[in-house]
Structures are given as structure tokens and as C-alpha cells.
Amino acid sequence: MKYNTIAFEKEDHVAIITLNRPEKLNAVTKMMIEELKEALENVAIDDTVRVLIVTGAGRGFCAGADLKASGSEAEIGEGATPEEQRQTIRYGLQEVSLRLHRLSIPTIAMINGVATGLGFDWALACDLRIGSENARFRVSFTKVGAIPGGGGTWLMPKVIGMHKAAELIFTGDFLEAKEAEKIGVLNKLVPAEDLKRETLSMARRIAENPPIAIRLSKLQLRKGLEVNLESALDMIAGCQTICLATDDYKEGVAAFREKREPKFQGR
């Protein structure tokens, strides 16, 4: 599929989705939402992809909804009824958050600049976040009389805790890169010139690991937030049984015994 507001590429088991409206700091339009949903669906059904990177073109990651967009490109159409607005929110912009969160492979947000509003929510929906010193985060919804529409009120406390999430949501203050690393929004803070190299390096290290075990590990990490320990242990036992039956497990054990690097095939 040809995209107009995003770019999509794959190499060495790593897919990269780039929000591609650099002149607008990658502000979100309806077209971008639909293209993101399509690209994420393509990643979800592609067994050759083991890691997804999400980033933005130019100086920003994503400046949130394009409030200057009008007509068919506006996030919520003028004159829409409350129910039409709810449907647009739930099955439009929120669907991107949900697909990112539910994706069975690891996801990395590569934060090259400002990530505000939906941009912040979508970054939080990824498993890992690597940023440069130019990264800045803000719950900009607060400043226009709205709430984090892409799921930030659920995602943020799980990343940084309730107290800090409440501060950022209630004040609408900017969160700068160094503090973002300190409180756990960023897994890693690197110089801008090293951002892509460092992100790709992590993605490739993950992609070299056994895909089935990684997918099942991510499943358990997500489900573990929702169940008690006993229920989690039951699920883990089932997932581990699956892993022990794979060719990758046999390869991993053989490589360990033979003192060599394993070559995992995802089988």
C-alpha cells in the first residue's frame, strides 16, 4: 500500500513506521490514523517481523492532533453528534493505541523530538522508548480542555506511577528528556546523532532472540498487569510448555552446550 502521511519499511526482521508530516511536527489527521491502522495490521500478520520501531520524520515525534486540519482531515468532524464523536475517538485514534499495545512483538518508540497529546499516548503504548536530548513530552490535551484521548490516563500510571502521572496530566507541564529518563518514560537517553543507531541496535538484539519466547514473554508481561500471581503462574506454565516444544528451544540448548551463538528460526 502507498502511504501519504506515514512511511513504512522492513529490514532484517525489524519494521519501522515513520509518522511523515514533518512540516507539521507529524500532527495527526484522519488519514494518518487510517494509514497507521493499516500498517499496524500488516505488521501483526507478518511473521517475518520480530520488532517494530515507531518514530517521526524531521524535528518531532508527534505533536498530537492537527487542530488546524479541517473538513475530511479533521480528527473530529465539525457538526458531528456526540455519538459520532465517541465512535470516531474509540475506533479511530484509540484504535492505534490499542493495536500498538496488543501487538504480539516488541515495540520501540524512537523519540526524536516533541511527543505531545496523541504522540505522548502512542509513545506510552509502545513497550520501550529511546529518546534524544531533543525529546519533550506533554499532556497537551489538558491545555485545550480535554483529557488524554489515546489512553494516556491508563497507560501513564503503569509506566511512571500514579503520582507522577497525575502531576503531568493535571498541570499539562512539559516533561524534558533528562527527567523522562529519570522517571522511566525513556528506557534510554542518547545523543541525537546516535538515536537511530542505538534504537536499531536494540531492535536487532531483540530480533536475534527466539521469536516465540519473546512473543509469549510480552503476553505474560501484559497479562500480569491484570491478574493475580496464581493466575499468572498458570499462564506461564502453559506458555513455557509451548516454548519447550519448539525447535528454537532445542537450538538454544544445543548452542549453550556447544558454546556457540544460537540461530533462532521462530519454529
Q: Domain of 160: which CATH number? A: 3.90.226.10
12 pLDDT band (50/70/90 cuts)? confident
Q: Is the pLDDT of residue 108 over 80?
A: yes
Q: Is the pLDDT of residue 77 over 70?
A: no
- In terms of pLDDT, which residue wins out, 224 or 121? 121
User: Does residue 36 sit within a domain?
Assistant: yes
Would the pLDDT of 230 be above 80?
yes
Cell of 260: 556457540
Domain match, 80 and 124 both = yes
Nearest-angstrom CA–CA distance, 233 and 239: 10
Instruction: Return the minimum-mean-pLDDT range out of 67-71, 167-171, 248-252.
Output: 67-71
pLDDT at 70 over 90: no
Q: For 209-224, write each residue's pLDDT tens digit.
A: 999 999 999 999 988 8
Mean residue pLDDT of the chain comes to 93
Q: Rounded CA gap, 88 and 98, in Å?
A: 14
What residue type is 57 in one-letter code? A
The answer to the question of residue 265 being in a domain is: no
The pLDDT value given to residue 110: 98
**101 and 16 in a common domain:** yes
C-alpha distances (whole Å) from 13 to each of 122, 236, 244, 246 are 22, 26, 23, 19
175 and 225 in a single domain? The answer is: no
Q: Band of the pLDDT at 74, cuts 50, 70, 90?
A: low
Whether 163 and 95 map to the same domain: the answer is: yes
Neighbours of 63 (CB within 10 A): 25
Q: What pLDDT band is residue 73 in, cutting at 50, 70 and 90?
A: low
133 with 237, same domain?
no
**Same structural domain for residues 68 and 105?**
yes
Rounded to 5°, angle at Cα 64 from 188 and 81: 145
**Does any domain span residue 264?**
no
Residues 6+ apart with CB under 8 A from 252: 210, 262, 264
Q: Has residue 75 got a pLDDT over 80?
A: no
Distances (CA, A) of 89 to 38, 44, 106: 17, 22, 25
**Could you tell me if 82 and 191 lie in one domain?**
yes
* Mean pLDDT value across residues 179-197: 97
Residue 13 dihedral angles phi and psi, to the nearest 5°: 70, 10
Q: Which of 207, 223, 249 is the last residue of a domain?
A: 207
* Domain assignment of residue 267, yes or no: no
Contact 165, 139 (CB under 8 A): no
Considering the domain architecture, whether residues 18 and 127 belong to the same structural domain is answered as yes
Residues 155 and 215 in one domain: no
State yes or no: pLDDT of 122 exceeds 80: yes
Question: Which domain CATH number covers 244?
Answer: 1.10.12
Count of structural domains, the chain:
2
Looking at the fold, whether 216 and 190 belong to one and the same domain comes out as no
The per-residue pLDDT for range 152-163, each reduced to its tens digit, is: 999 999 999 999
Is pLDDT above 70 for 95? yes
Residue 76 confidence (pLDDT) = 63
Query: Would the pLDDT of 186 be above 80?
Result: yes
Residues 229 and 197 in one domain: no
Domain that holds residue 227: 211-258
Strands (E), the chain: 6-11, 14-19, 51-56, 107-111, 114-116, 128-132, 136-138, 174-176, 188-190
Among 207, 222, 242, the domain boundary falls at 207
Q: Which of 207, 226, 243 is the last residue before a domain boundary?
A: 207
Are both 47 and 154 inside the same structural domain? yes
pLDDT(23) > 70:
yes
Q: Which grid cell is 78?
A: 465539525
Radius of gyration of the CA atoms of the chain, in A: 19
pLDDT value for 80: 81
